Structures are given as structure tokens and as C-alpha cells.
A and B are shown apart, each in its own frame.
Chain A
Amino acid sequence: MAMLEVKDLNVYYGVIQAIKGVSFSVDEGEVIALIGANGAGKTTILHTVTGLVAPKSGSIIFEGKVITKVPAHKIVSLGMAHVPEGRRVFAQLSVLQNLKMGAFTRKDKDEVEHTLEAVYRRFPRLEERRNQLAGTLSGGEQQMLAMGRALMSKPRIILMDEPSMGLSPILVDEIFDIIRSVSAGGTTVLLVEQNAKKALGIADRAYVLETGTIVKEGVASQLLEDDAIRKAYLGE
């Protein structure tokens, strides 16, 4: 059984249909990429999965539980974390306060300290800057903070929206290395990216989205070889 299953999802913004009958599934331990151009509906899908946007129809099932109508603030305690597009760190709070915000719903205080240490091990720069305001971090550091914040909830699945956006090529490599190691640590990853080459490089499977519908799906390494994909998304 799939860990996360989205069935026949339809989402509207007013009269405009943003998502048209999208279905996909994520198995435990996988890295799944949703790729597609700007405006294809990738972010909308993630927002719908975590309850920030309500779908008109369709269902979202996470670990056997229908979560279609579960409000956004109750999603994270189910074991699903969302790293939103544009990082959206709390700029006026310190790095440490941001990380603690990620563990907001957790009651196990001692365990939270362990998770914090683990996050610091993964992102040593966040520890160095723990008392600095998040708004003063560089883009790459903010991305790391957003990821660290999501990991603070100890999620079983992590949804990442455009983690490479606006970063220099070196930082993009670093971020993708981190995603790989998060996955190796046992967390399932659903990744939304415009950088199709990078995303397909680390994903197990991928779905290609065009104007709200899935036009192609398959094993990531095969999609990398697909002529149409190369032309449309890899600029070759």
C-alpha cells in the first residue's frame, strides 16, 4: 500500500481549475519528484495535500487515513512536514526559535532536544547562527533553516517545494545532497522542482505536470533519457 495516495484531485481558484484530475502515489522510502513548468500546479498540489488549499473533489490518503478534510494545522502531527516555496522562515525570530517552532506540536521535550542536535549535525551552520534572526540569513541558509524546521517535527514524509529556487549552483548541489541524505535517513520525500535535471537525478520516480494534469510518469532515470522530456524540461 502506498504511503501517500492522491486520487483524482480537482482544485479550483475561483472559476479557474488549477488541478484537473491528478492522481499519484508515494511509497514509503521513495523520493518522488513532481516536475513541470511555472504555473503547472505543482505548488497547488502540495498545498492541497497539507490542507492549505481545499480541493473541490478527490481524495488524499496518508498511511491509510483519509486526510482530505483535515485542517492544515493538524497535518504535521500526523507525520507529514511541508517545506514551503520561498522558505517562509519566521524572519523576526531567531534560528533557534524557528527550529523550535518546527517542533510546536511535539510533547516529548527530551526527544525534541535530540532532534535539535541531529538537525545541528546536519546543518552545522544553523548551530553557528542559532541566535541570529532568520531574516538576516542568506538564501541558502534560509533554505537549510526551512528544511531543519520541517525535520524538527520528525516527519515520516517531507514535502519540499522548490528547494533550489534562487540559489547559486554550488548551493543547489549542497541542497540536493541534503535531500539525498534526508531520504537515506529513512524519510520519504515528495519533491516539487523546476530544476528537472537535478530533481530527476535524485528521484526514484517522477510525475510530469502540465497545466494541471499529469502528462507523463515513470522511473526517474528513464524520464531523464526521454527525448520529449529532454527537449521540454532539460533544455536540450
Chain B
Amino acid sequence: MKFLSYLINGISLGSVYAIIALGYTMVYGIAKMLNFAHGDVIMVGAYAAFACIMNASLPPYAAVLVAIVVCTVLGVLIETVAYRPLLSAASSLAVLITAIGVSYFLQNVVLLIFGANAKSFQSVVSLPNLKLADGALNISGVTIVTVISCILIMLALTAFISRTKTGQAMLAVSEDKGAAQLMGINVNGTIAVTFAIGSGLAAIAGVLLCSAYPSLSPYTGSMPGIKAFTAAVFGGIGSIPGAFLGGLLLGIIEILAKGYISTELSDAIVFSVLIIILLVKPTGLLGRKMQEKV
């Protein structure tokens, strides 16, 4: 029963990682850049929801909607102002370093507005706990909502990419920007939409994360951001099912390591597993082999 309880917690945490990892993997797949500020967008989303609930007394669902809108706008803004002018630059390092800069910028802006003290985040989920097996297995409402959200997001995203014109444009841009333009696809617009979707998902992840782990500070996003990035690489960066699988596995490994081995060592174990997987399969679990263009 202990194992089952750990497993469910792992799936729940993994679902959050998966939602964040989707943002990393989509942006990487389409813009070929690592958006290291993605973790901080999560934190901004959580603060937006926090402010709506605490200061504006909005109901939780409205707070989540506001957070999604704030992060979507923020994502597009970051892309147009900070990254787009550099995407055509010779060095991809320039974009990478800018992303790190944006990350610190967001942390410090939030620090300035809300202060350094951790806020106690009020869960947006008011579902009662689910007690199974005579109370031996206790599943929280947040866990249920998190897992369901992750599955719905995954299904919606897959349908969006295979069924809509914008989704098809994303596939084309991810393969060959020049050829995509020749098809009449607006590459910059498609990249902006990708950032919008990834950042909107980050807001959902932020709210779910802080509902489960209610301490919110300007640095709340960095560790989950790095873990989710790891999950994206673990699953095969650029692959959407890979991000899903990588996120879930990472969450499960982390919680099992915490439960059975050591809380202090859990992160070390998680990253060791990543290193081993990458040594065996450098493209990640579901990653495609990169084809060298002749």
C-alpha cells in the first residue's frame, strides 16, 4: 500500500513535470532553442493566480484563467522582445544566455513586487480526498485534478497538432523553416504561437504545483523547471509523447527515491538515472535520431 501511495504521488508530480516539459520540448522542436526562462514563467503563473485569489478575491477557476492569460502574453512578449532578434544570429549561445538573463529578470521583478518571503499558496482545488481501501490509501483532490489535467492537455495538444492548420505549420517549421516559408507558412507567427501555448501550459503547471506544494517564492520555478527540462531530454527533446513519458517517469523515480532511499539523495538519483539513460540512448527514450543533412 505504501508503494501504491508513492506511485500515485509520483504520477502526480510527474504530471506537473510533463506539463512543463511540453513547453520546453515544443519550443525546442520548433524554434530550436532552449528556453531556460520557462521555469520562471511557471512561477509567474502561480503568483498571478495567488494575487487573484488573495488580493482580488476571485474564485479559483477565474484565477487560473487569469494566470493562463498572463503567462501566454508573457511568453509571446519574451519571444518577440528577447529571442526573435537573436534567432537569426549566428550563435545559438546568444539565445541561450539571453534565456538565462530573462530567467533572472523574471525572478527579480517578482521579488520586487511580492518580496522575498515565501507565500502560502491556497490550493485551487477544493475536491475532497479520495479514501480507498478503508483509508489506507489516501488520494488528494489536487492529485486527481493534476493527473486528469495532464492527460487532457496531452490529448488536446496531440489533436491540435494533427488536426489544425497551425499544428501542421508547427510540424513543417520544426523540420525546415525555409521550406515551410515556401509553403506560405509564417514562421515567426508559428514560433510565437508555440511560445503562447507552452507558456499557457506553464501557468497551469504553476498553479497545480503550488496547490500540491503550497510554498510560493520567486525561486519556486527554477528547480521544477530544471527537472522538467531533464524530463524533456529524458523522453527525447522535441518529442511531445517523449515529454509526457519523461515527465511521468521522472516524477515516479523522484518520489520512489525519496520514499525508499533518501530524501536528500533523491535529486542525485534522478539525475543519475538521466545520465545513465543518455549514455545508453543519447537521443532520449522517444527521441528521433538526428538526420545529418547532405
A residues at B contact (CB < 8 Å): 50-52, 71-77, 81-82, 84, 86, 88-93, 97, 100-102, 104-105, 135, 149, 153
Contact in complex: A91, B185 (CB < 8 Å): no
CA distance A228 to B171 in the complex (A): 47
With a CB–CB cut-off of 8 A, which chain B residues contact A91?
Answer: 175, 291
Question: Known: A72-B182, A77-B184, A84-B182. Is A90-B291 also a contact (CB below 8 A)?
Answer: no
Inter-chain contact B178/A104, CB cutoff 8 Å:
no
Contact of B183 among A51, A52, A76, A92 (CB under 8 A): A76
Across-interface contacts of B175 in A (CB, < 8 A): 90-93
27 residue pairs from A and B, CB less than 8 Å apart = A52-B178, A71-B181, A72-B178, A73-B180, A73-B184, A73-B186, A73-B187, A74-B184, A75-B184, A76-B183, A77-B184, A84-B178, A88-B176, A88-B178, A89-B179, A90-B179, A92-B175, A93-B175, A97-B168, A97-B171, A100-B168, A101-B168, A101-B180, A104-B184, A105-B184, A149-B183, A153-B183
Residue of A nearest to B186 (CB): A73
B169 in the interface (beta carbon within 8 A): yes
A107 to B248, CA, bound (A): 40
CB neighbours (8 Å) of A75 from chain B are 182, 184
Contact A102 B179 (CB under 8 A): no
> CA A102 – CA B168 in complex, angstroms?
11
Chain B residues within 8 Å of A149, by CB: 183
Residues on the B chain within 8 Å of A84, using CB: 178-179, 182
Given contact pairs A73-B185, A74-B184, A104-B184, A88 touches B171 in the complex (Cβ within 8 A): no
With a cutoff of 8 Å between Cβ atoms, the chain B residues found around residue A74 in the complex are 184
Contact of B165 with A by CB under 8 A: yes
SS class of chain B's interface: helix, strand, loop or mixed?
Answer: helix
Give the size of the chain B interface in residues (CB under 8 angstroms): 21
Assembled-state Cα–Cα distance A91/B186 (Å): 20
For the A-B complex, the count of residue pairs with Cβ-Cβ distances under 8 Å equals: 69
CA distance A57 to B175 in the complex (A): 31
Instruction: Out of A51, A77, A135, name the residue touching B291 (CB < 8 Å).
Output: A135
Q: Across the interface, name the chain A residue whose C-beta is closest to B175.
A: A90
Give chain B residues whose Cβ lies under 8 Å from the Cβ of A52: 178, 181-182
Hey, which chain B residues are within 8 Å of A89, CB to CB?
Answer: 179
B288 within 8 A of A: yes
**A92 with B288: in contact, given A97-B168, A100-B168, A101-B172 (CB under 8 Å)?**
yes
CB distance from A108 to the nearest CB of B (A): 14
